[in-house]
């Protein structure tokens, strides 16, 4: 499976506990697709939620205007996500009842050259959990450094 990643939300795994990920399609305009192919997109502070009855939209994502287009788009417009009805009902049920959030992890082009979004069902981490993640990351880095030095001596 060949993915060409256009935009990634690197802080999502630090700020949230990821429960489940789902691949969703995006409803885009022509100038938005061209801008994505150039890599002019950001999903750092974006999220997904129900805007109309039974439809999920990507909110607060930025796709820059394409400079060579005659009919450009609005950079911060709400974009509809393409999901099955069963997936939508499952996601919205968990968001409403259990306090989950829908966070985009990455936008990419799949093997058929269609723009897709990895959407995560996530719960926010507390300050203590974030400190624990930092400790684990530091220990992993130190462990790799120690092992590389040990292998060089042998």
Torsion of CA 74, 69, 113, 104, to 10 degrees: -20
pLDDT at position 62 is 85
Where exactly are the structural domains of the chain? 4-125
Q: What is the pTM of this model?
A: 0.78
Distance CA(96)–CA(121), nearest Å, equals 12
pLDDT at position 86 is 93
What proportion of the chain, given as a percentage, has pLDDT over 70?
A: 97
Phi, psi dihedral angles at 12 (to 5 degrees): -60, -45
Is pLDDT of 1 > 60? no
CATH architecture of 4-125: Beta Barrel (2.40)
């Amino acid at each position: 499976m060949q993915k060409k990643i256009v935009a990634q939300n690197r802080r999502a795994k630090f700020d949230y506990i990821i429960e489940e990920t789902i691949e969703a399609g995006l409803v885009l305009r022509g100038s938005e697709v061209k801008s994505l192919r150039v890599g002019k997109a950001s999903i750092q502070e974006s999220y997904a939620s129900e805007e109309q009855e039974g439809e999920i939209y990507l909110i607060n994502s930025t796709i820059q205007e394409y400079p060579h287009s005659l009919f450009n788009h609005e950079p911060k417009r709400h974009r509809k996500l393409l999901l099955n009805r069963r997936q939508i009902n499952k996601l919205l049920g968990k968001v409403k009842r259990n306090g989950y959030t829908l966070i985009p992890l990455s936008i990419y082009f799949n093997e058929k050259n269609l723009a897709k979004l990895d959407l995560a069902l996530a719960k926010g981490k507390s300050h203590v959990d974030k400190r624990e993640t930092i400790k684990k990351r530091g220990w992993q880095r130190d462990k790799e450094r120690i092992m590389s030095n040990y292998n060089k001596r042998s």
